[in-house]
Amino acid sequence: AKAGGRNQYRVFDETMRNRREEELELLADLREALRAGHILPYFQPRFAPGAQRIVAVEALARWIHPERGVIMPADFIPISEKCGLINQVGLTILEQAVRQRCAWERRGIDVSVSVNVSLRQLCEPDFAATVQRILETCGCAPARLELELTETLLLEENLVVARNLEKVRLLGIRIAIDDFGTGYSNLARLNEMAVDCIKIDRSLIQGLPRNEEIVRLVIAMCSFMQVSIVAEGIETPAMAEWAQRHGCHELQGYYFSRPVAAAAMENLLLGDAGR
Ligand code: C2E
Ligand code: CA
Ligand code: CA
Ligand code: CA
């Protein structure tokens, strides 16, 4: 039994080491990808049923690997978070997304852009100043940019985070709460924060119609706070119809489009404008 135990230990140890080595290799590759410009935003439309058009697009990070093809966020965002590379990933996505929005504007396409922001980015004392610089460089109106934050981030007591949030709000940048309804919500804090938009998590939307009561309650709460409501994860006409009928202002999900590269998004936007 003893020998077996030792063997087991050795096997376990080796697996651990391999995982660590794999992680280090991935990180080295990711640093190189950042330098080479292989980390870029895909875009997914946010459709407004009222206006019957795409009013905004969410930028979602993709790693375009020369050999492995498109690598999804699940395979590099968590490790970037862990190792501090998320600041660089977030920054390059923000920069490219804002630049793309402005290129579209020059071509007569009017669309806002939303970008995901991690807690680590907001812990950087110069975050707000960096965002301001990016907007100014591109000549982008602050109201055309929305930052998507998760609920837990709003509960952060960190002073640097609070200051950054205050500064970006003062600049006129919009704030959205992402994945709403999945975590522990501090409604008082949410109300205080005066967010502009709440994105109802796709797990809630996809639980319809079983959890209709809950989603209606969430929508009622959002309406009370007078925020714009986005329903995430819309995959079927029935879900789209339900969300629209129950007062969601914007709909996002595979039913409208998967996240696509900028060129494909541009075609969608042009088609959408009826040109
Ligand atoms: P998220 O911000 O909640 O983004 C929505 C995710 O749901 C995206 O996955 C999107 O492709 C997927 N999705 C959209 N519509 C549907 C649908 O109808 N059905 C289903 N099943 N899924 C749908 P993606 O692109 O793989 O991104 C995953 C997560 O990675 C994001 O979740 C976000 O938390 C994170 N992420 C992506 N890009 C960035 C970034 O630039 N910075 C940071 N900090 N996080 C990012
Ligand atoms: Ca998001
Ligand atoms: Ca989300
Ligand atoms: Ca998320």
Which residues on adjacent β-strands are paired with residue 114? 58, 146
Q: Report, as an integer, the average pLDDT of 161-172.
A: 95
Q: If you take atom 22 of ligand 1, which residue's CA is the nearest one?
A: 233
User: Which residues contact residue 119 at a Cβ distance below 8 angstroms, ignoring those fewer than 6 apart?
Assistant: 152, 153, 156, 161
Which residues have CB less than 5 Å away from ligand 2 (the ion)?
116, 148, 178
Q: Is the pTM of this model over 0.80?
A: yes
Nearest ligand, measured from the Cα of 149: 2
- Which pLDDT does position 2 carry in this prediction? 44
ipTM: 0.98
Which atom from ligand 1 is nearest to the alpha carbon of 72?
26
Q: Is 50 exceeded by the pLDDT of residue 129?
A: yes
How many angstroms separate the CA atoms of 37 and 45, rounded?
A: 23
Nearest ligand, measured from the Cα of 97: 1
Which residues on adjacent β-strands are paired with residue 46? 56
List pLDDT tens digits, range 213-263.
999 999 999 998 899 999 999 999 999 999 999 999 999 999 999 999 999
Higher pLDDT, 266 or 5: 266
Q: What angle do CA 174, 230, 119 make, to 5 degrees?
A: 50
Query: Cβ of 76: how many Cβ atoms within 10 Å?
Result: 23
In whole numbers, what is the pLDDT of the chain averaged over residues? 91
List pLDDT tens digits, range 203-216.
999 999 899 999 99
Q: Report, as an integer, the average pLDDT of 107-112.
A: 96
Please give the distance, rounded to the nearest whole angstrom, from the Cα atom of residue 200 to the centre of ligand 3: 7
Where does the pLDDT of residue 275 fall: very low under 50, low under 70, confident under 90, or very high at 90 and above?
very low
- Which pLDDT does position 213 carry in this prediction? 95
- Which pLDDT does position 193 carry in this prediction? 79
Q: DSSP of the chain, one letter per residue?
A: -HHHHHHHHHHHHHHHHHHHHHHHHHHHHHHHHHHHT-EEEEEEEEEETTTTEEEEEEEEEEEEETTTEEEPGGGTHHHHHHHTTHHHHHHHHHHHHHHHHHHHHHTT---EEEEE--HHHHTSTTHHHHHHHHHHHHT--GGGEEEEEEHHHHT---HHHHHHHHHHHHHT-EEEEEEETSS---HHHHHHHT-SEEEE-HHHHHTTTTTHHHHHHHHHHHHHTT-EEEE----SHHHHHHHHHTT-SEE-STTT---B-HHHHHHHHHHHTT-
How many angstroms separate the CA atoms of 181 and 205, rounded?
A: 10
Residue with tokens 């020059």: 106
Q: Is 60 exceeded by the pLDDT of residue 273?
A: no
Q: Where does ligand 1 bind, in terms of residues with CB under 6 Å?
A: 44, 60-61, 72-74, 77, 86, 90, 93, 116, 118, 148, 178-179, 202, 233-235, 253-254, 259
Nearest ligand, measured from the Cα of 60: 1
Please give the distance, rounded to the nearest whole angstrom, from the Cα atom of residue 232 to the centre of ligand 3: 7
Q: If you take atom 43 of ligand 1, which residue's CA is the nearest one?
A: 116
Please give the distance, rounded to the nearest whole angstrom, from the Cα atom of residue 60 to the centre of ligand 1: 6
Q: 112-116 and 53-65: which strand pairing?
A: parallel
Q: Is 70 exceeded by the pLDDT of residue 271?
A: yes
